[in-house]
Amino acid sequence: MDEKPKGQAQAAQEGSAARAEAPVPHAATPKAASEPHPPAATARAKAPGGRDAQPEARAQRPRRKRKWPIVVGVVAVVMVAAGVGFWTWHEQPSFCNAICHEPMDNYVEGYFNDATLMANTHKKAQVTCLECHEAKLSEQVAEGMSWVTRAYAVDASGDLATVGVTADQAFCAKSGCHEWSDVVSATQDWGGQAGVNPHASHQGEAIDCSNCHGVHETSYMYCNACHDYAVPEGWEEPR
């Protein structure tokens, strides 16, 4: 009778000892809080098979298109258009006094509006300034320098005091302008006087066209320094 209770008591003591020796479990902590953050180098995504997926991601990014060829093309087009526009304007009479108001204002005004001037007659025939005043680079540079340095003089009316341009038969009767034979025929028996023709002068070609015909100024009946020919309307006679 005493052995059974004694065995039971011993078994109970062994069970208590086993429970006492068993480790007490710690309170569970969130996995995310317990694990350290992975370094940047190991945090990259892995492709199937363990390969690094970053190079593939870089390869899949759309490459930036180079814009400089477009910019260069646009600039070139703008410059060409500006050059064409400037040259077209350069061909117009209004260009002459766009900057050089003095002394060009009078000449441009006469070209457009003064019916007594041959410049206006040329304008009505759609002849532009540059068809008579050829745009030679050397002359334009010299004219520009003269204007900048004011190396020129004007008269009381604002016209150039010294004009170095003359017009002779070779200049006025060149191809595409006046036909000399037509000019001579038009003035035959001038003023109703038989045999009188100012363009068939007894002086031959010693007299230039510009001796009588003033393109930008009043024309002058040069022949009447000796003769008494009819004077066209608006022309001056020798004093």
What residues make up the domain containing 210? 169-225
Q: Which of 160, 189, 213 is the last residue of a domain?
A: 160
Measured between alpha carbons, how far is 205 from 224 in angstroms, rounded to an integer? 17
178 and 156 assigned to the same domain: no
Residue 62 lies inside a defined structural domain of this protein: no
Look at residue 199 and tell me if it is in a domain: yes
Rounded Cα distance between 75 and 25, Å, is 78
Domain stop point among 106, 138, 160: 160
141 and 176 in a single domain? The answer is no
Phi, psi at 19, each rounded to 5°: -70, -35
Say yes or no: 104 and 155 in one domain.
yes
Task: Using the Cα atoms of residue 167, residue 168, residue 172 and residue 174 in order, give the sign of their dihedral.
Answer: negative
Per-residue confidence (pLDDT) for residue 1, from 0 to 100: 47
Q: What is the pTM of this model?
A: 0.58
> Would you say residue 197 lies in a domain?
yes
Same domain, 92 and 126: yes
Residue 129 confidence (pLDDT): 87
Ordered mean pLDDT values, 10 residues apiece, the chain (239 residues): 50 52 50 50 49 56 71 85 74 77 87 92 90 84 86 85 79 86 93 91 81 91 92 89
| Residue 94 belongs to a domain | yes
For the chain, what is the domain count? 2
Domain boundary among 160, 177, 209: 160
In a domain, 232, yes or no: no
Residue 147 contacts by C-beta under 8 Å, 6 or more apart in sequence?
A: 100
In the chain, the amino acid numbered 235 is: W
Residue for token digits 């480790």?
23
The phi and psi torsions of 52 (rounded to 5 degrees) equal -75, 125
Are the CB atoms for 95 and 89 separated by under 8 Å?
A: yes
Per the domain annotation, does 95 fall within a domain? yes
